[in-house]
Every structure is written in structure tokens, then in C-alpha cells.
Amino acid sequence: MTNQSRVDTARIAEHNQSRKDALELDYQALAAKLHRRGVDIEKIKQRALRFAVALPSWAVGTGGTRFARYPIAGEPRNVFEKMEDCGIIQQLTRVTPTVSVHFPWDRTDDLVALREHAIALGLSFDAVNSNTFQDQPKQLHSYKFGSLTNVDRATREQAIAHNLEVIEAGRVLGSKALTLWIGDGSNLPGQQDFAQAFERYLESARQIYAALPANWQLLIEHKIYEPALYSTVIQDWGTSLLAAEALGPRAKCLVDLGHHAPTVNIEMIVARLYRQSRLGGFHFNDSKYGDDDLDSGSINPFQLFLVFNELVAREFGDPAWACPAYMIDQSHNITDPAESLMSSAMHIASSYVRACLVDREALAAYQQSNDALMAHRCLKQAYETDVAPLMAMARIQAGGAADPIQLFRDIEYRKARAAQRPVQARPAAGIV
Ligand code: AFD
Ligand code: MN
Ligand code: MN
């Protein structure tokens, strides 16, 4: 690297050149295979080139569990350094041009400088996130018993004021949405009046909604449990939808894949929220047991494909399609966060592209004739297509690397950073 914040384009070109011949062969083989199915690979590549998913600023530092956190040398210590790592991820993968920041974790005195820094790195800002699930130093009222739904008016007002500050920060950064996730709920049956808590949520959220700039959306994120372990105020998509409909047309629902009971059919939720015009965004991650925040596609890649299958079906059938905000929300406890994010972003993009390969006409005909097996096979044919050569070609065309993770290792990015960013006992990264 000549410049710490960018990988030399010559280095990327050299990396790509060394893989060019093999990739070309694989790409031609895939092109021929798709051609036999009546699919033009170049058109699919165009879709791959347009796909984007936002990086979460809080995920470029090591995460942790309730038990421990294992910092690594060279991880970012503040939002400016987080943006540098996001910039490298984007430069190599070319599918992550935006970053979703979280306040107060990413607080800075100079938001304009942050915006300029992002632009210089080829990045811009996606949704901004507020945090009323932790108490901050010098905060007047505690969120121990809730924030926007607290029984105490002054505490609610403090939480509302924080959200208004986050909107202001987002306005400077060029964001177009506020993601609202609260941990409010109860730990013991009897502790909270469910009906009153929801009314208090609406009353608070109305004030936040009223402060949104005209071209912004409010993304309401539900989560089944945790930190509240008996009941959570915004616990599922039903409550999220009720809230969005009560607030107004620019309030939408955000689906975090890890925030549901284990057996819930998330792809159906996508279809329902779309029908109500309330599908606002996603937090992609994977989970085995709960809100595990594991790497996207690591546990249940078919589920992710099915989510995209629903999305692509709507995208293709709706001339007024407005793409929901696609974001990653993960926690990396034992891997290099940048590598996990590259791997996840590429998997998410490839899930989208494979969903684009579904023969929608054939699928509709099988559904119409109740041919369950062939309908399923139709999905599986797309799901099982190895689109890696197509994704690599698109990446190279966009200026990225054929194999981003390998190149990231070859340039020893983390080692170079370690010299400038010594391990911190408590780096500025979220562990939720
Ligand atoms: C929470 C939610 C929400 C929040 C994040 C913080 O998923 O998106 O902003 O964790 O790390 O569980
Ligand atoms: Mn989330
Ligand atoms: Mn979560």
C-alpha cells in the first residue's frame, strides 16, 4: 500500500491479472450454461453491478459476547478509522458504498470533516442509528427501565431529544433515514402494562417522526427479546407494522434476520410488509439460536436466498419499486471484522444475483398448476447456480479485486494498521 487508506490500484490490477485466465474460462462456462436457460449473463452482471449493501460502522471493530471480548491489534479506535476500514472493504468488494453510523458510539465534534473523510474514501452514509439502550456518561436519566416507553416523562423526553440530535447529525452527513431500535421491555411478568408501554412508544415516536426531514424515512426495527427477557415493546413485525401505520407513510419496518423466533418464516414477513408498503430495510446477519449476529450466509444461506427471492419477485414486478435499505448488522468475535464483512457482503450480493436467476414465468406456471415439486426445483436451480465467476467479473469491472479477502491478507492491511492503532482495552465499538 502506498497510501494507508487505499490499496494501490496497480496492486489490485496485478492481483486480478494473476487470476484472469482461469476466471475468463469459468465465466464463459457460466455464460454458456445460463444461455441454455435463456438468460443473458451480461444483463445479470449489470444487476450485480447495481447491487449495494451498507456496512455497519459498529461492526468493523471486534465485537464480543456477554462473557469476553478479544481486541485485535490494528482495529479502528474511532469513527474516522472505522471509515478507513469501510473504505478498504468497499474498494476491494465494490458492493458496500455506504456506511450506517451509530450514535453516540460514532460521535465526533466535526461531522463535516467526517463527511469529507467519507467522500475521500469513496463512501457515503446510509441510515443513522440512535442508542437509548445504554446509559451514557453524564446522562441525567437512566434507561434501566426503558427509554422511549419509560414511565417517567423526563426520561422519555431525554430519549426523544437524543433521537433528534441523531437526525441532525444524519442531516449533516447526508443520511436519509433514522433506524430506531429500543431495548425497552420488561424482565418479570407484571412489571409492565403492555398496552400503556406501546402507547408511550407511539407518543414518543410521533415526536421523532415529526422531526424527520421531508425526504427521510423512519425505520422501525423489532426484536423478539434481549435485553428485556420477558417482554419487549416492539417485539415482532406485527407490532412494528402497527407502529409504522400509526406514525405515517414515511415510517417503515426494518427486518433484522436475527430478531425472530427460530422457526419464523422471514421471507413471508417480507411479502406481507411489502404488501402494506412498509418494507423499509434489512439488517443482514445469520443466526443459529437468537440474535447471534453471525456472518451472513454462514448458518442458513437458503433462507437468505429465499428472502431475496421475495424481494426480486417484487422488484421485477413493480415498476415503482423502491429498494429497501440493505444493511449488514453483525458482530465479529473471533474473525478479523473486515474479512467477515467482505465475505458477508459478497455472500449477500450473490444471494441477490442468484434470486435474479429464478425463471419467474416457469415458477408462476408451476404454482398455477399446483406442481409443488417443479416449483421448488425452479427455485433450487437458481439457488444452486455457482455465480462466483459472474460476481468476480462484476467486481473487477467496478475496480475491485477478484478475491478481496486474499488480497486483503496479501497486503497485510491489519499488520500495517497495528503499528498506528495499538490495541485498546476498550475501543469505541458496540457489543450489542
Ligand atoms: C441490536 C439491534 C440494532 C442495534 C444493534 C447495535 O440489532 O440494530 O442497533 O444491535 O449493535 O441488537
Ligand atoms: Mn439490527
Ligand atoms: Mn440485533
Q: Ligand 2 mean position to 283 CA, how many Å?
A: 5
Q: Ligand 2 mean position to 78 CA, how many Å?
A: 21
Q: Provide mean pLDDT across the span 124-150.
A: 98
Question: Would you list the DSSP string of 330-381?
Answer: ---SSS-HHHHHHHHHHHHHHHHHHHHTS-HHHHHHHHHTT-HHHHHHHHHH
Question: Would you list the DSSP string of 168-235?
Answer: HHHHHHT--EEEE----EESSTTSS-HHHHHHHHHHHHHHHHHTS-TT-EEEEEP-SSSSSSSEETT-
* Percent of the chain with pLDDT strictly greater than 90: 95
Q: Which atom of ligand 1 is nearest to the CA of 431?
A: 11
Q: Ligand 1 mean position to 314 CA, how many Å?
A: 27
Residue 392 identity? A
Which residues line the pocket of ligand 1, CB cutoff 6 A?
A: 58, 129, 181, 221, 223, 256, 283, 291, 329, 430, 432
Q: Ligand 2 mean position to 127 CA, how many Å?
A: 12
Closest among 335, 255, 256 to 291, alpha carbons compared: 256
pLDDT above 50 for 428: no
Closest among 357, 354, 331 to 344, alpha carbons compared: 331
- For residues 390 and 313, what is the distance between their CA atoms, to the nearest angstrom? 21
Beta strand 231-232 with 98-102 is unpaired
Cα separations in angstroms, 13 against 10, 408, 421: 5, 14, 28
For residue 424, the model assigns a pLDDT of 66
Question: Would you list the DSSP string of 72-140?
Answer: -TT---SHHHHHHHHHHHHHHHSS--EEEEETTTT--S-HHHHHHHHHHTT-EEEEEE---SS--TT-S
How does pLDDT run across 59-68, given as a tens digit for each residue? 999 999 889 9
Q: Ligand 1 mean position to 432 CA, how many Å?
A: 6
Task: Tell the residue nearest (CA) to atom 11 of ligand 1.
Answer: 432
Closest among 290, 293, 406 to 7, alpha carbons compared: 406
Starting from the CA of residue 226, give the closest ligand.
1
Task: Tell the residue nearest (CA) to atom 2 of ligand 1.
Answer: 181
Starting from the CA of residue 258, give the closest ligand.
3
pLDDT bucket at 426, cuts 50 / 70 / 90: low
Task: Tell the residue nearest (CA) to atom 4 of ligand 1.
Answer: 181
Among 132, 166, 253, 432, which is best to mutate for testing ligand 1, by the most ligand atoms less than 8 A from CB? Answer: 432
pLDDT above 80 for 236: yes
How does pLDDT run across 261-286, given as a tens digit for each residue? 999 999 999 999 999 999 999 999 99
CB 34 within 8 A of CB 41: yes
Starting from the CA of residue 329, give the closest ligand.
2
pLDDT bucket at 422, cuts 50 / 70 / 90: confident
CB under 5 Å of ion ligand 3: residues: 291
CB 196 within 8 A of CB 184: no
Starting from the CA of residue 103, give the closest ligand.
1
For residue 278, the model assigns a pLDDT of 98
Rg (the chain; Cα; Å): 22
For residue 5, the model assigns a pLDDT of 83
pLDDT above 70 for 325: yes
Q: Convert 272-310 to b/e letters by CB count within 10 Å (16 or more is b).
A: ebbeeebbbbbbbbbbeeebbbbbbbbbbbebbbbbbbb
Q: Ligand 3 mean position to 225 CA, how many Å?
A: 10
- For residues 219 and 54, what is the distance between their CA atoms, to the nearest angstrom? 14
Task: Tell the residue nearest (CA) to atom 1 of ligand 1.
Answer: 432
Closest among 242, 245, 347 to 294, alpha carbons compared: 347
Q: Ligand 1 mean position to 284 CA, how many Å?
A: 11
- Cα–chain center distance at 289: 19
Cα separations in angstroms, 334 against 47, 63, 293, 294: 33, 8, 12, 11
Among 100, 256, 329, 331, which is best to mutate for testing ligand 1, by the most ligand atoms less than 8 A from CB? Answer: 329
Task: Tell the residue nearest (CA) to atom 6 of ligand 1.
Answer: 432
- Residue labelled with grid coordinates 448488522: 329
For residue 423, the model assigns a pLDDT of 75
pLDDT above 60 for 320: yes
Q: Ligand 3 mean position to 211 CA, how many Å?
A: 25
Tell me the three state secondary structure of residue 23: helix
How does pLDDT run across 2-44, given as a tens digit for each residue? 456 899 999 999 999 999 999 999 999 999 999 999 999 999 9
CB atoms within 10 A of CB 14: 12
Q: Which atom of ligand 1 is nearest to the CA of 283?
A: 8
Starting from the CA of residue 331, give the closest ligand.
1
Q: Which atom of ligand 1 is nearest to the CA of 226?
A: 12
Residue 274 identity? Y
Q: Which atom of ligand 1 is nearest to the CA of 129?
A: 9
Least confident piece of the model among 240-249, 362-371, 372-381, 419-428: 419-428
pLDDT bucket at 432, cuts 50 / 70 / 90: very low
